[in-house]
């Protein structure tokens, strides 16, 4: 085969990773007088690498995440009472393999969504199928769909390896359709042993009120909590801190430093 025939064959076989590096690998092999097997494994690795990074990109695009957050972006000194060890434990993603859930409950602005998004992003990097939803807008979208659309939405959310419901009960009351969707998601994912991460500013004792139905709240909570990591986020709002810093023209980091110097 000529070089252009090889290129066409690689294209037809969808081996774009090999196609991208082949010329370099040929030059490298000639320059180093490499044994064939060494060159061949490098070429094979190029294809594997390309596929893996494509998969991670696709997983991120499908996830519904809007930012690639990590736990490294958090300043753990800002709210020293955050359950740091539990956050990192969830970040290992072992809970997904074990079909456990994560409930991140606590005050606004303390980093609940940040941690949930970091876990979700990490899961996409591991090639997992993740769905991240802001609960209220997902419920509203669901309520607008016809039967077929609702079934399709549920199917997608049930199929995911990890489902993140961010800011559950932000609007306090949710519609009957939304309650049923939530119940269905929690029940079916529980049976399938598929993990859910929920974040909420609302203490679980109040969930019955928001669902208009205590029995439903109990059955939802039962299943969510049965195999769950419960993380309580106590502390000050980083959002307020950032807003205050903008007013005074300091960055949040500088404000924290200024504050901690004051306390010394």
Question: How many residues lie near ligand ADP (CB under 6 A)?
Answer: 14
Q: Which of residues 202-241 bind ligand ADP (CB under 6 A)?
A: 238-239
Per-residue burial over 55-81, b = 16 or more CB atoms within 10 Å of its CB, e = otherwise: ebeebbeebbbeeebebeebeeebbee
**Alpha carbon of residue 118 to chain centroid:** 6
Query: Cβ of residue 10: shortest distance to Mg ion, in angstroms?
Result: 46
Burial of 121 (0-12, 13-18, 19+ CB in 10 A): buried
With CB under 5 A as the rule, give the number of residues binding Mg ion.
2
Instruction: Kindly write out the interface string for residues 166-185 of this chain, putting x where it contacts ligand ADP by CB under 6 A and - elsewhere.
Output: --------------------
Residue 172 is classified by DSSP as: S
CB contact set of 171 (below 8 Å; sequence gap of 6+): 136
Give the Cβ contact number of residue 47 at 10 Å. Answer: 19
Choose which of 110, 113, 124, 153 interacts with Mg ion (CB under 5 A): 113
Which residue(s) pair with 231 in the sheet?
Answer: 104
Beta pairing, strands 130-134 & 162-166: parallel
Of residues 223 and 241, the one with the C-beta less far from ligand ADP? 241
Residues between 131 and 190 that touch Mg ion (CB under 5 A): 167
Exactly one of 112, 189, 194, 223 binds ligand ADP (CB under 6 A); which one? 112
Closest CB 81 distance from ligand ADP, rounded Å: 11
* Binding-site member from 111, 133, 186, 220 for ligand ADP (CB under 6 A): 111
Q: Which does 200 bind (CB under 5 to 8 A by kind): Mg ion, ligand ADP, none?
A: none
Nearer to Mg ion, 104 or 182 (CB): 104
Distance, in Å, from the CA atom of 157 to the CA atom of 149, rounded to the nearest integer, reads: 12
Q: Which residues bind ligand ADP (CB under 6 A)?
A: 74-75, 78-79, 108-114, 199, 238-239
Q: Which residues bind Mg ion (CB under 5 A)?
A: 113, 167
């Amino acid at each position: 085969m000529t070089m252009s025939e090889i290129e066409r064959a690689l294209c037809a076989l969808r081996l774009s990773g090999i196609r991208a590096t082949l010329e370099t690998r040929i030059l490298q092999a000639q320059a180093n007088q490499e044994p064939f097997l060494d060159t061949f494994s490098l070429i094979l690795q190029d294809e594997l690498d390309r596929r893996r990074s494509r998969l991670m990109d696709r997983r991120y695009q499908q996830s519904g995440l809007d930012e690639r957050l990590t736990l490294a972006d958090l300043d753990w000194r800002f709210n020293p009472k955050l359950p740091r060890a539990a956050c990192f434990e969830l970040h290992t993603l072992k809970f997904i393999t074990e079909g456990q859930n994560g409930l991140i409950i606590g005050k606004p602005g303390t980093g609940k969504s940040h941690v949930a998004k970091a876990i979700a992003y990490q899961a996409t990097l591991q090639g997992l199928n993740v769905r991240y939803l802001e609960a209220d807008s997902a419920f509203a979208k669901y309520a607008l769909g016809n039967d077929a659309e609702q079934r399709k939405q549920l199917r997608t959310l049930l199929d995911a390896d990890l489902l993140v419901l961010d800011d559950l009960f932000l609007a306090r009351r949710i519609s009957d359709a939304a309650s049923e969707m939530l119940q269905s998601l929690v029940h079916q994912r529980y049976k399938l042993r598929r993990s859910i991460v929920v974040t909420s500013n609302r203490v679980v004792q109040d969930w019955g009120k928001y669902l208009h139905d205590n029995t439903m709240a109990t059955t939802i909570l039962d299943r969510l909590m049965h195999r769950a990591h419960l993380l309580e986020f106590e502390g000050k709002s980083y959002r307020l801190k950032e807003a205050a810093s903008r007013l005074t023209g300091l960055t949040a980091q500088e404000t924290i430093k200024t504050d901690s110097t004051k306390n010394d």
